[in-house]
Every structure is written in structure tokens, then in C-alpha cells.
Amino acid sequence: MTETKRISYREAISEALWEEMERDENVFIMGEEVGVWGGTYAVTRGFYDHFGEKRVRDTPIAEMVIVGAATGAAMNGLRPVAEIMTINFAFLALDAMINSAGVAHYMFGGQFSVPMVVRTTTGGGRQLGATHSRSPEPVFAHFPGLTVIAPSTPADAKGLLKAAIRSNDPVLFVEHSTLYQNRDEVPVGDYVLPIGKSDVKREGSDVTIVAYSKMVEYSLAAADILSKEGISAEVIDLRTLRPLDLDPVYESFKKTNRGVVVEEATPYYNVSGEVAARVQDVCFDWMDAPVKRVNALDVPLPYSRELEQMALPNPEKIVEAVKEIV
Amino acid sequence: MALTDEQKLEAYKTMMVIRRFEEKCAELYAAGDIGGFLHLYIGQEAIALATKYALRDDDNVITAYRDHGLAIARGLPVKNLMAEMLGKATGTSKGKGGSMHLADKEKRFWGGWAIVGGHLPLAAGLALADTYRGEDRVTLALMGDGATNIGYFHESLNMAAVWKLPVVWLVENNQYGMGTAVIRASAVSDIAKKAEAYGMPCCVQVDGMDLQALVDYLEEAAIYAREGKGSFFVEALTYRYRGHSMGDPERYRPVHEVEEKKLDDPISHLGSHLIEANLATTDDLQKISDEADQEIAEAVEFAKNSPFPEPGELYTDIYADSMGEVSR
């Protein structure tokens, strides 16, 4: 049996980073407040004192050069883990991610590789207003050349971050800001998960609920509510948005014949639309109902608490969507 | 460092190869053999050669999309470069990059990049990696005058200065960012003032048509960077005789301006010097020109006879790691 211990999502990420830095001298961290401050979400607390300023590098508040310089360092043999404080700031680095890091391998005929991880946080629900609360993972997952990972559990976070750091391609690693406190069993030591594998988080037979990141937690809560009413929901965690592994989803859908996709991003041009489109394409003969989608409402997130909560998905909305088709 | 007689002759030959390469590219573009965008280097050749003599072979070089001259000066094989122009499998980027995306990892020529300023933070990162490993390479980052107005420029110079990265930032000021004159696009027409703001030493408005002068300034910059003192900024004043790219209507500059500038030609200057110094005769220079024509003709033949990439190449090299079927 693998030895495990009960730690938080934050601790699991921190542990993965620490172990990879101990393992490989070429792994280093750069970003805003990652060093002396210890990380604005405290993920890198203690790193600066242990690894020193060469490997834990505080940067100016300048996202374009954070990702661009990490790209150059990766091309030249290092394994940078660049931190962008929130995914909302990653828009400033979008060009560096997609037009530099994301195409460096392809555009020069395979000569260069970019083994870089960009860690960032996503998600709303903390009254941070329109500019700091978005969940725009699908924007980044749109582009071939990037890998986009968004774990929902502490164990997945550890195993996938280690895999991301060892990957030879640019990875956007998306952590949910309201999952950091969640605690669960996490394998001790060198635990590495394959990138691009969805995971069945709960088995069921009546409906397939597909989600990622924070929405997995809500989907599992919804499945609990549904089970009390005699509805058996299977919950699948995508874990990786690019490459997107839908085989377990198709397999599940062919069993349940009904599906709901849950995503925190706004409802149009996104992951839920992508999954729904592919499910109807592959599983048309197994469909007993249209695939439903649960997303944030199509609005910028407001500050006021009640209004913000109205706009976001929650377990009740998922239950409601399931009941429309079961 | 004064260039040796051999280096002067070699430089003349290479500059002639660059010019003939560019003239041939213009022809092939008109004939439809080269597609996309094509940005010619004619008039700026001395700068590419100066980087060769001021730097070590294992230093890093990265530039923007006007990259043919630098690629040739860096020693990339002319026939494979021509094949890249024609989108052939034998091209330096397997035909998947094109004119704007030439590179050779072995020669530490890190590309041709086509988003204005986008390669500047990469230069900082290249330099960071060398410094991190304790290697004493210098990174040379070339850019046009237009790139000094974009955010990437300012973020990159600032970080390089804060971290004392060994980068030589070299602006090839050819007076126009596409069709907009420096004075119409930049708040200060003296571009080096922007670098001074980041506390780095600068060489202001070096004569970009004078090979020896360029070598001298770039060498000073490279020594400074290699000694661990940080970044150095050099602005070279130059001029492109052709348009920004092939579709340029050139309504932004008078014909006589271009004709006057052509009299200040870097290749003619070096040729005159070779004759005055008794290093070559007019016949010798003619022979060099003929040999350049011959080399380009052979490169075109090689490129034309090369195969186009196989359809399967569409899906290769999107990722360095194999992701299997799930990546589709």
C-alpha cells in the first residue's frame, strides 16, 4: 500500500514543488511575491530561506516578461515554474504563452522545447469583483501547443504538478483559490500522475456529471443530494483540459445515457460546450436527453456577496440540471 | 578589435551573399515561390556581420522577423535557408516556420520571432539560464526601432537591469516602424534615452553602415555583459532600401531619400576600403559578387528540388512529449 498523509491542497502543491526542486537543480521558481513574502497564497512559504534567491526569484509586477523570460530560460535548458498571481493577470502574458512558448517547438521544426510551468489561481466567490474573479481556463485551453491542468483534489494537485514540472512542454497549472484549505489523503514521496487522464471520482448509473477544479467538489455534493432522492450520479473529473481525455466520459455516458457538464467559466465558447459537442458526436446513439450545462451566468462577477453567489454554479443548480433530464 | 584583413574579405563576401540572397528572395516572391510575409535586410548587412565578429560563436543571438541576414552571418547553411523560404522539408525549420522563423539551436541562433517585441523577454530568459549555470555567455537581442515602443521592451530591459543579466540589446534603427517614422511613433527620437532610464550604459546612434565601428561598440558591450556587470544597450542607425515587407506602398518616404541613402551603402564602403588598402582589386570584388550569385543559384536549385513536407508533418512537433491520441 502507498503511504499517505492527510494534508491540504496548498500543502500538496507546496510539497510537489519542494520535492521537485530538491530532485532537479534546474527547477526554479519566479514570480510576484514568491520569495520574501512566501507567495500570496503561501504556497512557497519557506522556499526562499531554504533554496535561496537564485532559485526563488521575486520579479517585478510584469507578467509579459515573467512568462517570456521563463520561456527563454526553458528553451535554454532550465525548468522554470513561473507563478502568475491569478489567472486574471495571465491575460497580460497571453501572447508570451501562445505566440512564444506555445509554438516554439512547432514553428522551428522541433528544435526548441519549453519545459515551463506557469502556476496560477482561478475562480470566483471571494467578492473580488469583475477583474479578479474569472475562470478563463478555456481561453488558454484553446491553443494547441499548451497543456492546461486544473486539479480538484490535494492528491491530484501533487501528482499532476510533479508531472507538469517534468513535462517538456509549456504547462498552465491552474489552482482554485477556494480549494487551498481542502484536506485529503495524499501519497507521501514521489507521486506522479499521467497528464491527460480524466478520473472517475464517483461511480453511478443514472447520469454522468463532468467537471473540473472546484466544480468537482460541487458535483460530488450534488451527487450526495441526488443519491438521497434515489438518483445515482457518476462524477468525472477532467483534471486536464488540454489534452482533453473524454474516453471515460464516453464510456460513462454510454452507461447512463444522460449527461451534465459543470464549469465555473461563463457559459459560451468554453469547456462545457466542447464536451457537450463531442459527446453528441460520439455518443449520439446512446443519448436519451440533451447534454445539460451548468456554468456561471453570462455576466462579469459583481462585488456584492448575494449577487456574486447568484451568478456562480452551486450544488443546487447541478441537482436542478440533473433533474431536468433524469 | 580591428578586423584582420582576412575578416574584412570574409565579411565582404558574406555581406554580398546576404544581399544576393535577399534580391533572389524578392524575385521568388514575385514569382509566387515564396509566400507569406517577406522582410528584406538589404542595406542593414553590416550589422549582421558585426555581431559575428563582436561575439563568440557560443553566445546566444535572437532577433525579430527581419532575420535572413543574421541567419546567414551566424553560419546557417544558405541552401537550407532558401529551402525554408520555399516551405520545403529540408528547410531550417522543416518548412514550418518560413521567412520570419529561421533558427538553428546548434548555433545558438534562437530565432526569428514575428510578434514585435515578443522575443525580448526570451532574451532575458536565455541570459538568465546561462547565468544560473555559471556560464559566461552573452545574449544578443536585436530589434527594430518600432519594438522600443512596446511593453515587452520596457518590461524586459527593466528585469534585465534588476537581475544584471548579460544581454546586449541592439536596436537596428532603420528609421521606420513599418511606415511610421520614429519621430511620429516614439516620444523621444533619441531611442537610447529609453534604455538610460533602466540605468544601463548605452552607445547612441552608432553608424550602422560602418562595419568596424559596429564591431568596436558591440565588442565593448559584450565585454561589459560578460564581465557580469549587466546589460548594455546599443543603437545602430541604419536604413532599409526595400519596403517594410513586399506589400509596402512606400508612401511614407520620398524616393530621393532612398536614393540618397543608397549612396551610404555598407557593402560599397567596405569594398572601397578593401581596394584602398590593397586587399582586393575591382576584379576581385566582381569575382566575389559572381561567386555569391553562383552560391545563391545553387541554393535555389537545392530548394526547388527539395520535397515539400509530408502531410503527417502537420501533427508532428506540436508537443515535445508524446501525448498519444488524447492530444487530438
Note down the domain range covering B210: 5-303
Nearest to B118 among A28, A99, A245 (CB): A99
Beta bridge partners of A29: A56, A81
Point out the residues of chain B with pLDDT beneath 70. Answer: 323-328
Beta strand A199-202 pairing with A233-237:
antiparallel
Domain of B132: which CATH number? 3.40.50.970
Phi first, then psi: what are they for B237, rounded to 5°? -85, 120
Chain B: give the shortest CA distance to residue A321, in Å. 28
Q: What is the dihedral of CA B122, B11, B42, B210, to 10 degrees?
A: 90
Nearest to B96 among A69, A107, A144 (CB): A107
Q: Is residue B324 domain-resident?
A: no
Nearest to B121 among A28, A64, A114 (CB): A64
Could you say which residues from 255 to 284 on chain A have a Cβ atom under 8 Å away from some Cβ of chain B? none
The average pLDDT across A224-248 equals 98
Q: Is residue B316 domain-resident?
A: no
Q: How far apart are CA B250 and CA B241, in angstroms?
A: 11
Nearest to A54 among B132, B321, B328 (CB): B132
Helices (H) and strands (E) in chain B, counts: 12, 8
Q: Within an 8 Å CB–CB cutoff, is residue A112 touching chain B?
A: yes
Beta strand B60-63 pairing with B139-144:
parallel
Q: Which residues of A touch B90 (CB under 8 A)?
A: none
Q: Is residue B315 domain-resident?
A: no
Beta bridge partners of B48: none
Q: Is residue B310 domain-resident?
A: no
User: Are B158 and A60 spatial neighbours (Cβ–Cβ below 8 Å)?
Assistant: yes
A63 among known catalytic residues:
yes
Beta bridge partners of B172: B144, B236
| Three cell numbers written together for B144 | 527594430
Q: Is residue B32 domain-resident?
A: yes
B115 with A54: Cβ contact below 8 A: no
A73 with B126: Cβ contact below 8 A: yes
Give CA angle at A97 (A91, A100), nearest 5°.
135
Q: Which residues of A touch B315 (CB under 8 A)?
A: none
Q: Is residue B328 domain-resident?
A: no
Handedness of CA A131, A136, A139, A143 (dihedral sign): positive
Q: Within an 8 Å CB–CB cutoff, is residue A230 touching chain B?
A: no
Lowest model confidence (mean pLDDT) among A6-15, A217-226, B259-268:
B259-268
Q: How far apart are CA A96 and CA A91, in angstroms?
A: 10
Per CATH, is A199-325 categorized as 1.10.357.10? no
pLDDT confidence bin for A114, thresholds 50/70/90: very high
Q: Which residues of A touch B316 (CB under 8 A)?
A: 110
User: Are A209 and A219 spatial neighbours (Cβ–Cβ below 8 Å)?
Assistant: yes
Beta bridge partners of A84: A120
| Catalytic pick among A63, A234, A264, A308 | A63
Do A4-187 and A199-325 come out as alike in CATH topology?
yes
Q: How far apart are CA A59 and CA A82, in angstroms?
A: 10
Using only the alpha carbons of chain A, give its radius of gyration: 19
A50 among known catalytic residues:
no
Give CA angle at B236 (B234, B242), nearest 5°.
145
Alpha helical stretches, state H, chain A: 9-23, 47-51, 63-75, 94-95, 104-107, 137-141, 154-166, 214-228, 247-256, 271-282, 305-311, 315-325
B319 with A169: Cβ contact below 8 A: yes
Nearest alpha carbon to residue A243 among B207, B306, B322: B322
Collect all residues with Cβ–Cβ distance below 8 Å to A47 and sequence separation of at least 6.
A17, A18, A21, A29, A34, A35, A38, A39, A56
- The pLDDT value given to residue B324: 47
Give residue for cell 464517483: A202
- The pLDDT value given to residue B203: 85
B128 with A78: Cβ contact below 8 A: yes
| Three cell numbers written together for B100 | 520570419
Give residue for cell 504538478: A161
Handedness of CA A19, B125, B67, B145 (dihedral sign): positive
| Three cell numbers written together for A95 | 501572447
Nearest alpha carbon to residue A172 among A132, A214, A141: A141
In 10 A of CB B281, how many CB atoms? 11
User: Are B71 and B92 spatial neighbours (Cβ–Cβ below 8 Å)?
Assistant: yes
Q: How far apart are CA B73 and CA B308, in angstroms?
A: 26
Domain A4-187 CATH class label: alpha beta
DSSP letter assigned to residue A302: P
Q: Within an 8 Å CB–CB cutoff, is residue A148 touching chain B?
A: no
How many A×B Cβ pairs under 8 Å?
157
Tens-place pLDDT, residues A121-180: 999 999 999 999 999 999 999 999 999 999 999 999 999 999 999 999 999 999 999 999
Q: Is residue B317 domain-resident?
A: no
Q: Is residue B255 domain-resident?
A: yes
DSSP annotation string for A191-241? --PPTT--EEEE--SSEEEEE-THHHHHHHHHHHHHHHTT--EEEEE--EE
Q: How far apart are CA A254 and CA A268, in angstroms?
A: 26
Q: Within an 8 Å CB–CB cutoff, is residue A192 touching chain B?
A: no
Closest B-chain CA to A95:
B118
- The pLDDT value given to residue B1: 87
B122 with A72: Cβ contact below 8 A: yes
Domain locations along chain A: 4-187, 199-325
A74 with B321: Cβ contact below 8 A: no
User: Of all residues in chain A, what percent carry a pLDDT higher than 70?
Assistant: 100
Give residue for cell 543608397: B262
| Three cell numbers written together for A280 | 453528441
Phi first, then psi: what are they for B15, rounded to 5°? -65, -35
Looking at the 3D structure of chain B, how many domains does it have?
1
Collect all residues with Cβ–Cβ distance below 8 Å to B24 and sequence separation of at least 6.
B82, B296, B300
Instruction: Identify the helix (H) or strand (E) that includes residue B122.
Output: helix B120-132
Closest B-chain CA to A100:
B118
Q: Which residues of B touch A146 (CB under 8 A)?
A: none
Burial class (CB in 10 A: 0-12, 13-18, 19+), A77: middle
Q: Within an 8 Å CB–CB cutoff, is residue A28 touching chain B?
A: yes
Nearest to B159 among A60, A78, A108 (CB): A60
Phi first, then psi: what are they for A209, rounded to 5°? -105, 125
SS3 A25: coil
Beta sheet of B167-173, edge-to-edge order: B109-112, B60-63, B139-144, B167-173, B232-237, B202-207
B93 with A109: Cβ contact below 8 A: yes
Q: Which residues of B touch A145 (CB under 8 A)?
A: 318-319
| Catalytic pick among A132, A142, A185, A251 | A132
